[in-house]
């Protein structure tokens, strides 16, 4: 299963949530691969604590591969290469966790038939090797998005299951922007249709994930005054109405990740020790990530919503 992780705005939680989803899948024994298609800023290495590639790799990453200069992009075994000790002591029975990094300073580049062909070859080959491939796309109506829409419309990818998760914050601007990225002019559906996708089928493969959501009823909010809690509740209902109007509402929702201090400040993989031993991360956050990791691979979660 390939998941294209996208968002209209930057800073939505796409990479932090996506990396944690790949990690959770690997913990559950699945082979997971994170592909950094954020061409302008491929910094996923930082989340996996891969110091040497925290801003991309040098000359052997996805940019160089898609431009046709190498036969295979670099593949990094996160369990073995991470500088974070808590991750290197991986539990027994975990699956593979691989990062395919972009190139440092690679930048955006327009789609071209050879780049699309190489993208197809990469995705087909990864699909044979991994249970979950999470492709972190550059935000907005990006070249990265166009390349993968062209690739997935190609007949040689017909047998590969590919879905889309649009990440957004639980705010007015983000809700409107996320809806626009999918349904708006030159959005994912328009661009997909242009490249040969069936609009209705593509739309059924797209779901939304809300990130860094503040829950008025959570215990961490116990310090808020009653007036603030009541006001938050009103805001929440207004946002729900706005989400429904923008087709980003409950019917198209795949998950909600709560606001978590460790994700906010440290942008890291949340280990079970962060929750139960160090008690720095919230249990609710890890439960939400676990739940989303399961739903992403479960076809029923996507159908009939
Ligand atoms: N669940 C969360 N709780 C609190 N803060 C979060 C959460 N998820 C993400 N963040 C914060 O949001 C910031 C942006 O997250 P992230 O880098 O994943 O977004 P992005 O959409 O990949 O951004 P970019 O477009 O820059 O690649 C992070 O620096 C982190 O501080
Ligand atoms: Mg990112």
Of all atoms in ligand 1, which is nearest to the CA of residue 136? 22
Q: What is the pLDDT of residue 14?
A: 98
What confidence tens digit (pLDDT) does each residue in 78-131 have? 999 999 999 999 989 999 999 999 999 988 889 999 999 999 999 999 999 999
How many whole angstroms separate alpha carbon 293 and alpha carbon 297? 7
Instruction: Write out the residues surrounding ion ligand 2, Cβ under 5 A.
Output: 15
Ligand 1 centroid – CA 155 distance (Å): 35
Span 171-184, mean pLDDT? 98
Which ligand has an atom closest to residue 267 CA?
Answer: 1
pLDDT at 305 over 90: no
What does the mean pLDDT of the chain come to?
95
Sheet holding 32-37, edge to edge: 76-77, 97-100, 32-37, 132-137, 2-6, 162-169, 206-213, 253-258
How many domains would you assign to the chain? Answer: 1
Q: What is the pLDDT of residue 149?
A: 98
CA 68 to the chain's CA centroid: 26
- Of 124, 100, 114, the C-alpha closest to 45 is 100
The encoded tokens of residue 102 equal 């972009």
> Which residue owns the Cα nearest ligand 1 atom 23?
11
Span 263-268, mean pLDDT? 97
Query: Contact, 151 vs 192, CB < 8 A?
Result: no
pLDDT above 90 as % of the chain:
90
- Banded model confidence at residue 220, pLDDT cuts 50, 70, 90: confident
By the 10 Å C-beta count (0-12 exposed, 13-18 middle, 19+ buried), 278 is classed as exposed
How many whole angstroms separate alpha carbon 167 and alpha carbon 208? 6
Which CATH number belongs to the domain containing residue 66 in this structure?
Answer: 3.40.50.300
Residue 145 three-state SS: helix
- Ligand 1 pocket residue status of 267, Cβ below 6 Å: yes
Instruction: Map tokens 């087709």 to a residue.
Output: 247
- Ligand 1 pocket residue status of 38, Cβ below 6 Å: yes
> Which residue owns the Cα nearest ligand 1 atom 12?
13
Q: What is the pLDDT of residue 304?
A: 56
Q: What is the pLDDT of residue 270?
A: 98
What confidence tens digit (pLDDT) does each residue in 24-58 have? 999 999 999 999 999 999 999 999 999 999 999 99
**DSSP string over 201-254:** HHHHTEEEEEEEE--TTSGGGGGS-HHHHHHHHHHHHHHHHHHHHTT-SGGGEE
**DSSP string over 249-262:** SGGGEEEEEE--HH
pLDDT above 70 as % of the chain:
99
Q: What is the pLDDT of residue 186?
A: 97
Of all atoms in ligand 1, which is nearest to the CA of residue 257? 1
Query: Contact, 127 vs 78, CB < 8 A?
Result: no
Q: What is the domain range of residue 242?
A: 2-302
How many whole angstroms separate alpha carbon 146 and alpha carbon 148? 6
Query: Contact, 168 vs 7, CB < 8 A?
Result: yes
Tell me the CA distances in angstroms from 148 to 4, 7, 128, 208, one per residue in order: 8, 14, 17, 18
Q: What is the pLDDT of residue 253?
A: 96
Of all atoms in ligand 1, which is nearest to the CA of residue 43? 27
């Amino acid at each position: 299963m390939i998941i294209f992780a996208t968002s209209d705005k930057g800073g939505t939680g796409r990479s932090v949530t996506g990396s944690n989803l790949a990690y959770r899948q690997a913990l559950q024994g699945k082979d997971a691969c994170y592909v950094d298609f954020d061409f302008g800023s491929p910094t996923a290495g930082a989340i996996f604590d891969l110091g040497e590639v925290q801003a991309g790799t040098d000359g052997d990453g996805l940019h160089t591969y898609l431009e046709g200069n190498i036969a295979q992009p670099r593949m990094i075994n996160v369990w073995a290469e991470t500088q974070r000790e808590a991750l290197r002591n991986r539990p027994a029975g975990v699956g593979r966790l691989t990062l395919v990094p972009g190139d440092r300073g690679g930048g955006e580049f327009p789609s071209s038939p050879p780049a699309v062909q190489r993208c197809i070859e990469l995705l087909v080959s990864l699909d044979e090797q991994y249970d979950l491939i999470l492709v972190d796309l550059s935000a907005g109506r990006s070249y990265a998005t166009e390349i993968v829409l062209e690739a997935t419309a190609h007949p040689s990818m017909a047998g590969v299951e590919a879905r889309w998760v649009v990440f957004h914050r639980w705010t007015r601007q983000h809700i409107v922007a996320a809806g626009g990225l999918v349904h708006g002019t030159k959005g994912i559906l328009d661009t997909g249709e242009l490249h040969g996708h069936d609009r209705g089928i593509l739309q059924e493969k797209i779901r939304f994930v809300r990130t860094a959501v503040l829950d008025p009823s959570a215990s961490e909010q116990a310090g808020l005054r009653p007036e603030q809690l009541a006001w938050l509740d009103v805001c929440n209902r207004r946002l729900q109405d706005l989400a429904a109007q923008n087709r980003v509402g409950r019917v198209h929702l795949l998950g909600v990740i709560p606001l978590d201090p460790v994700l906010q400040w440290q942008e890291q993989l949340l280990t079970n020790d962060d929750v139960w031993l160090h008690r720095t991360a919230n249990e609710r956050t890890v439960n939400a990530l676990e739940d989303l990791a399961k739903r992403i691979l479960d076809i029923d979660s996507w159908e009939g919503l």
